[in-house]
Chain A
Amino acid sequence: MRRLVLLLVAVLMAPCARAADLQVMVRDSRGHPVRDAVVTYYPQGGGGAGGVRFDWPYRMAQQNLQFDPFVLVVPAGATVAFPNRDTVRHQVYSFSPAHPFELKLYSRDETRTVRFDRVGVIALGCNIHDSMVGFIKVVDTPFAAKTDAQGAAELHGAPAGAGVLKIWHPYLKAPANEMASAVSLPPSGELRRVETLDIRSPPIRRNTY
């Protein structure tokens, strides 16, 4: 049932450098680009643990009765702000084992913050608005990115050599919604991968007021 169809087309380009770029294209089984898939790379022997920072804000806003962004990638230990930009109040919670929490009702323009120390996926919901779903992916690697609308993600400066490439998506039909594959980065240049994922269609969410 939790099936992974993996088509691997590797094109090795080798510029002479210590670090390499990793380009990943994620598509679903029908060939459509998949956005909001989190691509992480773990070089063999680790590297870069601690002091990981990303150049996007660690913020999960609530706007138009939606979490924005849908998926947020943060390093472990990051403090994420939860600003309410709606006119209604929200009560954000998570039962995820990685970090269950509950933010009591808070109004427009109020911001709550939560520090996430443990690596994992925190599924966010609003107790008032069932249709609101969001995810925070807490990672412990500097090589992490989220696919854009074209399903593309790029990792820069990863060390050459062997490593593990992981792709996570909230609706990926896979254990823990994640799949991993061993890759070998060339000493220099780029590694381009096209990953095809079996994505479940998102559930219809009805608000039960």
Chain B
Amino acid sequence: MFRHLRTKLTVLYAGLFGASLLLLAAALYGVITSEADRTVGDELTASATVFDRIWAMRSQELQEGAALLSRDFGFREAVASKDAATIRSALGNLADRLHADRAYIVGVDGSATAADGRPIEPAAARVLASLDQDEDASGVFTISGEPYQAISAPILSPTLTGWVVFANKLDKREMTSLERLSAIPLQASVVYRVRSGAWRFSGGDQTGLDAGRLSRFVERELSDRTVRVRHLATAGGSSIALVTPLKTLSTSAPAALVLHYPLALALAPYRLLLEAAGAAGLLGFLILAAGSWALARGVTRPITALDEAAQRLQRGESVAVEVTTADEIGRLAASFNTMASEIRAREHKITHLAMHDQETGLPNRRALEETIGAMADAGDGRLVIAALGVDRFAEVRGAIGYGLAAALLGEIGSRLASLHPGRPLARLSTDVLGLAFLAEDALAARRLAIRLLAELEAPLSLGDNTIDVSLTIGIALQGEHDDLVPSVIERANIALDQARTARQKTALFDPELYGDPSANLSLMSEMLGGLADGQMILYHQPKLDLRAGKVTGTEVLIRWRHPTRGLIMPDRFITMAEETGHIGALTEWVLARALEEQALIRHAGHELTVSVNLSGRLVGDPQFAGAALDMIRGAPGAFCFEITETAVIDNPEIALKTIDRFKAAGIAISIDDYGSGLSSLAYLKQIHADELKIDKAFVLKIDESQKDALVVRSTIDLAHSLGLKVTAEGVETPTALSLLAGMGCDLAQGYLVARPMPLKELLMFMVDEEVGKRRRA
């Protein structure tokens, strides 16, 4: 209802005081009015009594005069003898003596004669004729609208022969003389009822009443019987009035005395008092209202300040309220200030926590997201996110502990921050830092990433330890492949993963490699369908036996000819099959197909060892091992499983046992991709393999790099020492082939020997080989 406390207080106080004043005024007015009423009422009642007395005295005077006349023997004789002249003169004589205005003699037959001989008004005659008692009748009667006080005296001679009637006009003079007797200047009037039933004032209306209202008032007062003082509304304001019935000569024409006194006059003596009280009350009210306002303002000013401060606080502004008093409000203000500053501090802390990594104190991913939002808007080149992953973080952490591992990341971060001030930095995950910068294009971004590697991959001192730092960087550009992965940070992370998968130091986000997660799922169901539909085919990459000089084996590789997507590379769907658990089914299909094709190759007259790549996940799966052994038991030729050392990392015991089962079944085991990744001599020792395949990364540059040649040579020596045959992958030049042959390498694989090809081509290749060999031989 009130928007402001001060208004509320002011209105409340002023309202209460005003109500008290009104009550007081009402009580004062009531007392004064009733006092005036009572005074005037007493006066009116007294005047009415006086009037009664005067009336009685006057009546008696007339009565006695009339009686005197009516008993006079001579008069009676004159009446009896109908001596009209004598009668009239006697009547007139007495009327003069009594100052009576009218005098009549009325016979028992109702005939009336006026003393002055004038004709009698019909109304008067009717009243006179109604006299039928030989007692003294008296009362008011009306002649020509003028009320008269009349008395009658019977003429008994000795029987009733008539009446002597005297009448006095109740005119203004009579009323004035009555009014003069009162202590207050009241107004006296005689009212009478005319034949129509309405009441009239004698001598005209002095109250300003309309006839209807007067009639109702008088009728009500007369019917009330008890004579009481009443209020009477008149044109000139309210009056205090008293109505007393008057005795009338004829009951059919009642009359009454109305005494009234204007209320205004009655209240006049108190007017000054009322006005003074009213003025004092009004003045008091104004003072109180102003005082309340001032007081309320004083009280509410600090509250208003608090209210405003609270609203500002709500809007997130930093606020403090001035504490001016030591009372409750002062304490409230102090508490508010404390609360506000604590809220700010907490808010700050929460914001910091929300935006920073706890372990390193570096901004977190969310902070970076917010910052790059602003950067992207700034324009000036394209926003690039570099995700810097610390290689083998888990191992490093295992070595130096969680605390130092986090410190390591923090140290890299601070190094990054000092080298690239102004480029937003964040810890994106446990082992990944993110750096945002602007670059013209992908190439520039990549160049910067390479620069970062150079800058950061230096040993770090942490406490007593010196730690080598190896990083992989994933790069993503804002605005590229947003449709695939909306977040550029996310893409950078994916790019990092892609780089690691590809064993590269840096990588741009590759949408092809990434695929579409939702599409991936459908890809898997399509893959399973493709296995049944014959969309999958096997390619063969021949292995050349350097000593024998002929192809002795083939590595089967799966290819997927998708009806709509075309040829899908295995690294795309095999990883996915591994992750989705479909690798078993896929490998079983490959095995089955490889067995079929081996039979065909054999049928064509060639004896080849068939190598099948076995996923690390399947090496630890005894169920698959059982199924695979069942299938291969009836193989038409030699079989080989190619696995990587990492296949035994997760669960070495089971994996090694499985490998032993394969071995026992006559299946050769080949260690694939040796030299890349975590090549472990321990595993090399543990895995009872038959063959070691040197990763093509070493073989490709064997004719250029002395170092690579050395590694390959020593690896070959090592393998031979362990009783393993060695296959070199990625043999692309004759030089390399001759080098390898010189090093004692057993088998060669690569484009120089043959590209992967379908069975049909392989069979033709084998024929050519035979022919060529024969030609060479």
Give the B-binding residues of A (Cβ under 8 A): 1, 93, 95-96, 100, 123-127, 130, 132-133, 170, 203-205, 208
**Is B76 an interface position by the 8 A CB rule?**
yes
A203 touches B134 (CB 8 A): yes
Residues of B within 8 A of A1 (CB): 132
> In the docked arrangement, what's the CA distance between A123 and B156, Å?
10
Interface flags for B70-108 (1: CB within 8 Å of A; 0: not) read: 010100110111000000000000000000000000000
Residues of A within 8 A of B77 (CB): 95
Residues of A within 8 A of B132 (CB): 1
By secondary structure, the B interface counts as mixed
Residues of B within 8 A of A132 (CB): 158
> In the docked arrangement, what's the CA distance between A208 and B158, Å?
13
A125 touches B157 (CB 8 A): yes
**Cross-interface CB contact of B156 among A93, A96, A124, A125, cutoff 8 Å:** A125
The 12 listed contacts between A and B (C-beta, < 8 Å) are A93-B73, A95-B76, A95-B80, A100-B80, A100-B81, A125-B156, A125-B157, A126-B158, A203-B135, A203-B156, A205-B156, A208-B71
A95-B76, A203-B154 are known contacts. Are A208 and B67 too (CB-CB below 8 A)?
yes
Residues of B within 8 A of A127 (CB): 73
CB contacts under 8 Å to A, within B602-643, are none
Give the A-binding residues of B (Cβ under 8 A): 67, 71, 73, 76-77, 79-81, 132, 134-135, 154, 156-161
| Min CB gap B23→A, angstroms | 63
**Cross-interface CB contact of B159 among A93, A123, A208, cutoff 8 Å:** A123
| Min CB gap B729→A, angstroms | 163
A123 touches B158 (CB 8 A): yes
| Min CB gap B60→A, angstroms | 14
> In the docked arrangement, what's the CA distance between A123 and B73, Å?
15
A133 touches B67 (CB 8 A): no
| Min CB gap A203→B, angstroms | 4
> In the docked arrangement, what's the CA distance between A208 and B70, Å?
11
Interface centre among A1, A95, A124, A127 (most CB of B within 10 A): A95
> In the docked arrangement, what's the CA distance between A93 and B134, Å?
20
A204 touches B159 (CB 8 A): no
Given contacts A100-B81, A130-B158, A170-B159, list 18 more A-B pairs with CB under 8 A.
A1-B132, A93-B73, A95-B77, A95-B79, A95-B157, A95-B161, A123-B158, A125-B158, A126-B158, A130-B71, A132-B158, A203-B134, A203-B135, A203-B154, A203-B156, A204-B135, A208-B67, A208-B71
Residues of B within 8 A of A208 (CB): 67, 71
> In the docked arrangement, what's the CA distance between A170 and B132, Å?
15
B158 touches A133 (CB 8 A): yes
Residues of B within 8 A of A170 (CB): 159
A130 touches B73 (CB 8 A): no
Nearest B residue to A134 by beta-carbon distance? Answer: B158
| Closest A-B pairs by Cβ, 4 of them | A125-B158, A95-B80, A203-B134, A133-B158
> In the docked arrangement, what's the CA distance between A36 and B235, Å?
64
> In the docked arrangement, what's the CA distance between A72 and B161, Å?
21
Residues of B within 8 A of A204 (CB): 135
**Cross-interface CB contact of B160 among A96, A124, A203, cutoff 8 Å:** A203
> In the docked arrangement, what's the CA distance between A187 and B160, Å?
42
Residues of B within 8 A of A96 (CB): 80
Residues of B within 8 A of A123 (CB): 157-159
Residues of A within 8 A of B79 (CB): 95
Nearest B residue to A206 by beta-carbon distance? Answer: B67
Nearest B residue to A124 by beta-carbon distance? Answer: B158
> In the docked arrangement, what's the CA distance between A100 and B78, Å?
12
Residues of B within 8 A of A205 (CB): 156
> In the docked arrangement, what's the CA distance between A205 and B134, Å?
10
> In the docked arrangement, what's the CA distance between A150 and B160, Å?
26
Residues of A within 8 A of B134 (CB): 203
| Min CB gap B350→A, angstroms | 117
> In the docked arrangement, what's the CA distance between A125 and B155, Å?
12
Nearest B residue to A123 by beta-carbon distance? Answer: B159
Residues of B within 8 A of A124 (CB): 158
